[in-house]
Amino acid sequence: MTKHLPGGPTAHIDTFAADNLPPRDQWPEFDFDSLPILQTYPDRMNAGVELLDRMCDTGHADSPVLHYEDITWTYGELRDISDKIAKVLVEDHGLVPGNRVLLRAGNNPMLVACWCAVLKAGGICVTTMQLLRARELVYIVEKSKIRHALCDISLAEAMEETCARKPELTDTLYFSATGGSDASLDAALAGKSAGFANCDTAADDTALIAFTSGTTGTPKATMHFHRDVIAMCDCFPRSFNMAEPHDIFTGTPPLAFTFGLGGLTCFPMRFGASTRFFPRPLSPEDMMAAIEKYKITGLYTAPTMYRLLADLAGKYDISSLEKCVSAGETLPKATWEAFHNATGIRIVDGLGSTEMIHIFVAASREDMRPGFTGKAIPGYRAKIVDEDGNELGPNQPGLLAVQGPTGCRYLADERQSVYVKDGWNYPGDMYEMNEEGYFKYVARADDMIISAGYNISGPEVENALLDHPAVSECAVIGKPDEKRTSIVKAYIVLRGGFEPGDDLTKTLQDFVKNEIAPYKYPREIEFVTELPKTETGKLQRFRLRDREQTS
């Protein structure tokens, strides 16, 4: 096994990223030997060039790559626009390789063009969710030491406030969703010709700094190399035939999160496919209508959306839909079965993390098993261990440990030693593995509830509750209790036609007692209208735990 694949001398003049990588003895071990294509990567690699220029040069220049309302860009058009943006950054604004560039926009064509341009110029992309406010952006700017920003003009207010608070953010340009406006970046492009001398980056120069979603507290900055961006494309979608030239993808995750970046940009571009973005987030009804209208073939979204889509499937013609991927958090068996029964489609449940850049446990559509996440995908290995790192046998719950061609490297963060131990990545999930190598989710390590001496998996109780027709969504946590240490508490969003009350509470409690061991039932149920989530739809159970702690 290769611990480190040298990428040759860095192309970065600004060495901030390299200077703030964790010490080498805190890196995980990397495996480039178990998947042949990983061994073909050259020492010099630029992910923007691989995903865009290479596709143009191999016959896809006239193929569609991005759709937005009534506009479609080809790979060739995207390359021309990206090259012009790169020229503006380098020639007019002094960007040097290694500079970090803050990217601010919803999912739209110009955001993809800016992302490619920054990489082609040797910069480092720091893409942020459009819902973030100035206070949150200041943290990101400070952590990443950012001077350049490219921002959608619709988000100018928060951006200007951020610039006022952080004077070192001296260089901000604005763009519209598809260009062509009088915004500063759009206007600057008019004076540039196509063609750009791409930066000859090393394969292990940092390409992007991605911030975690904050489901467990303060976001962490993860660092990924150009090689990592390409590896995530060659491991998951290539291994399971999840992206082909005829495909049209869409989905809900923002490109600020690596789940969205991979599924809605890098994966399609690696295989000559295209993606459709929308000006605003789609409701479940709008999503189904869009699939029908635009003949969408691939969908990336969270389990919550799939559960809602299952109820609507009979109202729309979604016969074009083939490839559905769920990630962000575990896919409940009840949701998988409901969607499969309604559509005939076998959702691929992918386990990934921002630290690993994308999915590392999954299965093909044909091999998916309801209630299981899948196996370690080609290129990765995974095992279940106890708290001392000792490997456990089949059907014994423990901590998941992973190795592969990607891995955790936090930007100047003491939590590196929590995520990486003895060369293995520890995503913080509790799983068990059966005799055939299929992994079954038990809980996040911090979602285990200790009650009267019993270890209770919060997600297991959630899965039981979701099988009841009254329950639309739920989140289960441990509520502090003097007698039992903690009790199981469920927050529940009801489906239409059901009314909260003591009778329904008892009905649900009895239902859980009949589905799983009675000691696991929720001793307290609170009915709510919504649950706290990240923009990608991941439950923020820590907010509910914090609420119970303070109360």
Q: What is the pLDDT of residues 227-286, one digit of tens each?
A: 999 999 999 999 999 999 999 999 999 999 999 999 999 999 999 999 999 999 999 999
State the CB neighbour count (10 A cutoff) for residue 420: 23
pLDDT of the residue at 129: 86
Q: How confident is the model at residue 467 (pLDDT cuts 50, 70, 90)?
A: very high
Comparing CA positions, the residue from 442, 441, 445, 467 lying closest to residue 373 is 441
Per-residue pLDDT, averaged over 156-174, amounts to 94
Sorting pLDDT into bands at 50, 70 and 90, what band is 147?
A: very high
Task: With 0.75 as the threshold, say if the pTM is over it.
Answer: yes
Question: Could you state, in order of their start, the residue ranges of all structural domains in the chain?
Answer: 452-550
Average pLDDT of the chain? Answer: 93
Range 135-153 average pLDDT:
94
Q: Please state, in angstroms and rounded to a whole number, the distance separating the CA atoms of residues 445 and 341.
A: 32
Counting beta carbons within 10 angstroms of the beta carbon of residue 530, is it exposed (0 to 12), middle (13 to 18) or buried (19 or more)?
A: exposed
pLDDT for residue 154: 96
**Each residue's pLDDT tens digit, 61-108:** 999 999 999 999 999 999 999 999 999 999 999 999 999 999 999 999
Distance from C-alpha of 297 to C-alpha of 325, rounded to nearest angstrom: 11
The region, left, alpha or beta by phi > 0 then psi within -120 to 50, assigned to residue 69 is left
Number of helices and strands in the chain (H, E) = 19, 27
Locus of tokens 């600020």: 256
Question: Which architecture characterizes domain 452-550 according to CATH?
Answer: 2-Layer Sandwich (3.30)
pLDDT band at 4; cut points 50, 70, 90 = very low
Is the model's pLDDT at 217 over the cut of 90? no
Q: Residues 38-67: pLDDT tens digits?
A: 999 999 999 999 999 999 999 999 999 999
CA distance 301 to 322: 14
